[in-house]
């Protein structure tokens, strides 16, 4: 979803674009955390290449007294893509993978298929042609078994990218699922084992691991928006299928250590040149995305955001200064209400001395949400009114073209509105409605109830009109 799952560098640049917020990071969090509705937040700041500051506020789960700390693991969402990209670059530097070779050359299930045609570079930079919708569509069910990722990628064999490879930039999780499987086949080991042994352990990320299909009680609980509140998610297994695109689990301190490594200019888990290449625009088609990182050349920042159900994260680096900050929040954003954007961006801006003028009133988003939430009640009241005025409704069946038009036209308009709400809008958001339901269940319910309520209202009017005792002809 473009607005739920993929925050582009252009969006970050627009957000960080006015006055620098005043006060300390802790003061800012004190002021903004309640409005976000998130139960907790953790952050860590890198200054001159060293983790210089870390803090946390709130609890791991609403209603509990277990405090969030800078060492609390969070599912970091799409920041995980940079880990997958780093692993691929290790294989590139080892001579086992070619950046301009087709992905299908390394993933047996995709060899010779349209899905296997995009190059490794195109997969890394989201120029493969796979769309956001394709990336947010589940094709197989996660079972927790070691072959979950292999099965998910194999399911792509009959699916072609939405655009010709190398011609269009569009963020897609599909790219990183393929890359995760590429790592497994080239390295001859599970994605989880490779990343743990080649990245997490050497970097010193002691409170981090890769989604492995198991339940982990030490993870901060995600909280999804629910009509001006947030509901904690039930504990569930981590997902092996989404591990390469969003399944690294890490603490704020550990992510900060990782960011410091990315900026240190040293040959360690990857060469200094390899790291620099990852943090440069990948091509003319990808001017604001490198290899696993968003790149904003206007202010010299490199970073990524992440969104998993009930968790939102943000990592931002200024490589020229060796400064960085990571912000982890265990609350998903609502629409207009309970958004975490201002909390994350403001914290980032203060920590790095960047400009940010806030998100404003968000009145349009609030009005949209309120309208969708109230519309089903309006339709229900209209049905009651139609029954109360049933004689007048029935009289329309004998009032000529005008009467019939007033009876049948609402069925057409509400049918079109239902298609817009249930198909067109989710498509524009970059995800099917089932995915919207996972991230924003209140919005998905309001959209569904409004769509269904409108059609039911129109149908009820017709049933009333053509059943029962006919009314007198309408006058005037």
pLDDT in tens, 117-169: 999 999 999 999 999 999 998 888 888 899 999 999 999 999 999 999 999 99
Residue 19 pLDDT level (bands cut at 50, 70, 90): low
398-424 per-position pLDDT tens digit: 999 999 999 999 999 999 999 999 999
Q: Provide long-range contacts, Cβ within 8 A and 24+ apart, for 114-120.
A: 114/159, 114/160, 114/161, 115/156, 115/157, 115/159, 115/160, 115/161, 115/178, 117/161, 117/165, 118/161, 118/165, 118/166, 118/175, 119/165, 119/166, 120/88, 120/92, 120/179, 120/182
222 or 361, higher pLDDT: 222
What is the dihedral sign for C-alpha 186, 189, 194, 198?
A: negative
Cα–Cα distance measured from residue 1 to residue 248, given in angstroms and rounded to the nearest whole number? 19
Query: pLDDT at residue 466 above 90?
Result: yes
% of the chain at pLDDT higher than 70: 94
What is the average pLDDT across 304-325? 97
| Predicted TM-score (pTM) of this structure | 0.91
Residue 430 pLDDT level (bands cut at 50, 70, 90): confident
245-279 per-position pLDDT tens digit: 999 999 999 999 999 999 999 999 999 999 999 99
CB 273 within 8 A of CB 244: no
Cα–Cα distance measured from residue 131 to residue 133, given in angstroms and rounded to the nearest whole number? 5
Residues 6+ apart with CB under 8 A from 263: 46, 49, 275, 317, 319, 322, 324
Query: pLDDT at residue 15 above 90?
Result: no
What is the average pLDDT across 452-463? 97
Task: List where CATH 3.40.710.10 sits in the chain.
Answer: 9-352
Query: pLDDT at residue 473 above 70?
Result: no
Cα–Cα distance measured from residue 46 to residue 52, given in angstroms and rounded to the nearest whole number? 6
pLDDT of 431: 86
Cα–Cα distance measured from residue 319 to residue 290, given in angstroms and rounded to the nearest whole number? 14
Radius of gyration of the chain from Cα atoms?
A: 25
Cα–Cα distance measured from residue 184 to residue 182, given in angstroms and rounded to the nearest whole number? 5
Query: pLDDT at residue 476 above 50?
Result: no
Residue 21 pLDDT level (bands cut at 50, 70, 90): confident
pLDDT of 12: 45
Task: Tell whether domain 9-352 is in CATH 3.40.710.10.
Answer: yes
Summary mean pLDDT of the chain: 93
Cα–Cα distance measured from residue 189 to residue 191, given in angstroms and rounded to the nearest whole number? 6
Q: Please state which of the ranges 43-47, 133-137, 186-190 shows the lowest mean pLDDT.
A: 133-137
Query: pLDDT at residue 385 above 50?
Result: yes
CB 239 within 8 A of CB 211: yes
CB 324 within 8 A of CB 46: yes
Could you tell me the CA-to-CA distances from 104 to 99, 119, 422, 445 in Å, in that order?
12, 8, 34, 40
């Amino acid at each position: 979803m473009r607005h739920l799952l993929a925050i582009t560098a252009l969006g970050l640049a627009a957000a960080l674009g006015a006055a620098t917020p005043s006060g300390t990071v802790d003061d800012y969090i004190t002021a903004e955390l309640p409005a976000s509705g998130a139960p907790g937040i953790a952050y860590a700041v890198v200054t001159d290449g060293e983790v210089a500051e870390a803090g946390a506020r709130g609890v791991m789960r609403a209603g509990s007294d277990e405090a969030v700390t800078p060492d609390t693991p969070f599912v970091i969402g799409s920041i995980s893509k940079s880990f997958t990209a780093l692993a691929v670059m290790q294989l590139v530097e080892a001579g086992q993978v070619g950046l301009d070779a087709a992905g299908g050359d390394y993933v047996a299930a995709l060899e010779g298929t349209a899905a296997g045609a995009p190059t490794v570079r195109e997969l890394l930079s989201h120029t493969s042609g796979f769309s956001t919708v394709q990336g947010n569509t589940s094709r197989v069910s996660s079972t927790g078994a070691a072959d979950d990722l292999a099965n998910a990628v194999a399911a792509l064999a009959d699916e072609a990218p939405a655009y010709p490879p190398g011609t269009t930039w569009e963020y897609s999780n599909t790219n990183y699922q393929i890359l995760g499987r590429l790592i497994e086949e080239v390295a001859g080991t599970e994605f989880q084992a490779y990343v743990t042994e080649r990245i997490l352990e050497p970097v010193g990320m002691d409170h981090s691991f890769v989604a492995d299909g198991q339940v982990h009680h030490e993870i901060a609980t995600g909280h999804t928006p629910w009509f001006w509140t947030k509901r904690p998610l039930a504990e569930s297994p981590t997902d092996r299928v989404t591990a390469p695109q969003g399944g690294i689990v890490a603490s704020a301190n550990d992510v900060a250590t990782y960011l410091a490594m990315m900026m240190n200019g040293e040959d360690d888990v990857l060469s200094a040149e390899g790291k620099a290449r990852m943090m440069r625009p990948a091509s003319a088609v990808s001017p604001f995305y490198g290899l696993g990182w968003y790149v904003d050349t206007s202010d010299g920042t490199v970073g990524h955001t992440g969104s998993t159900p009930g968790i939102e994260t943000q990592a931002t680096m200024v490589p020229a200064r060796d400064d960085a900050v990571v912000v982890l929040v265990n609350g998903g954003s609502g629409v207009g209400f309970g958004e975490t954007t201002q909390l994350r961006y403001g914290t980032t801006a203060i920590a790095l001395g960047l400009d940010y003028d806030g998100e404003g009133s968000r009145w349009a988003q609030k009005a949209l949400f309120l309208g969708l939430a109230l519309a089903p009640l309006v339709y229900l009241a209209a049905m009651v009114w139609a029954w109360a005025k049933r004689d007048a409704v029935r009289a329309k069946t004998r009032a000529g073209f005008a009467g019939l038009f007033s009876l049948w036209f609402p069925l057409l308009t509400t049918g079109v509105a239902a298609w817009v709400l249930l198909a067109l809008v989710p498509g524009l958001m970059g995800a099917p409605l089932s995915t919207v339901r996972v991230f924003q269940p209140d919005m998905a319910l309001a959209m569904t109830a409004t769509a269904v309520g409108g059609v039911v209202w129109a149908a009820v009017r017709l049933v009333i009109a053509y059943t029962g005792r006919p009314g007198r002809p309408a006058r005037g």
